[in-house]
Structure formats: C-alpha cells, structure tokens
Amino acid sequence: MRVSDMEAYQSFFLEAAGKCYAGDLPKTTIAELPKSKVYRYEKRNLLYLDVYYTNGESSGGQTTIFWDSVPVWLMQYHGWCKDDDKRTLSFLKEALKSTYERGIWNFGRGPDAYTSQEFPHLRYVIDEHDSGGFETFSGMESVRDYTRRPSDLIFWHRFHGMLLAPE
C-alpha cells in the first residue's frame, strides 16, 4: 500500500466523521440489522459506513471505510453514557468535531482534552491510548461532570481500529 492511499483514507475519515455523527447528516437504518443506526457518506470511490446500536445507556458499533467496495479500514467502539443524556452526547459531538474540522488525527476521536463555554462543567479526555497511528490504534475516552467534587464519570468509550488494506 502506498502512503498516499493511507493518507487519503485518513483524510476521508476525518471529512466523513465530521459530517456524520459529529455533524448533521441524517442517520438511517439497515433492515437486516434491527435497531441499527447508520451513517453513510460517499465521495468518489470511497464509502464511509458507521453502524451502531444503543440500548439505553450502552452503545457499540463499527465504522468501516471501503475503497471500490473493498473494506480497507475499520474502527470498533463500545461504551456507556449515564442516562443516555442528550447534553453529554451534544458535548461529545462538539469535542469530536473539534479535531475532525481541523483535519487532526487523534485516534479517530476528539482532542487529548476538551472543554467548552457552552458546557462549562464538562471535560472530555482521551484517558489512555497506544502509540499507534491510523494503521492500528486503541484507547479509551471519557467525559466527566465537574459540577460536584469529586467529578462524576458520565460517559466512556473504548475504541480500536486498524488498516485492512494490504501493505
């Protein structure tokens, strides 16, 4: 695989992720996958498909990038959001979008740490991660609410991903 291919996949991921979950692209479903929530974004020969499920506070899913219908990259994730809180999820989307819009690869997630004027008591962090890049990576992210001391953990996700394309 050429480095330019990998850079194209990574750039496409950041663009698509910013428009899909972190953006305002409407989600759909796949009839064969009951209760699935699906984001789909296409550009030329590339397809971004993010399929996930929520069941109250728990969620999990997988994002795959295809080149000419061949899967070339994927990221899987799962986690928990206290009370499935819409405010927490809006803050999470804001944190994720802050890296996507600037074209920054940080394990496909938000910055190492993030706060916002709109949500002054919330703090997003990448709690742990390996040193891998787009080719292979894993980690954990969380959101804490600092309205009380000690802070409350109100969201966490584990994530991992890898390049599927031959080298």
Q: What pLDDT shows up at residue 150?
A: 81
Q: Which pLDDT does position 2 carry in this prediction?
A: 67
Q: What is the pLDDT of residue 151?
A: 86
Query: Which two three-digit tokens encode residue 43?
Result: 């550009």
Q: What does pTM read for this prediction?
A: 0.93
> What is the pLDDT at residue 1?
53
Tens-digit pLDDT string for the chain (167 aa): 566 788 999 999 999 999 999 998 999 999 999 999 999 999 999 999 999 999 999 999 999 999 999 999 999 999 999 999 999 999 999 999 999 999 999 999 999 999 999 999 999 999 988 877 899 999 999 999 999 778 899 999 999 999 997 65
Q: What pLDDT is attached to residue 167?
A: 57
pLDDT at res. 94: 97
pLDDT at 3: 61
Give yes or no for a contact between 162 and 74, defined as CB atoms under 8 angstroms apart.
yes
Q: Please choose, from the candidates 95, 35, 45, the residue with its C-alpha nearest in 3D space to the C-alpha of residue 65.
A: 45
Q: Which residues contact 74 (CB under 8 A, 6 or more apart)?
A: 62, 63, 64, 65, 161, 162, 164
> Quick check: 9 and 1 in contact, CB under 8 A?
no
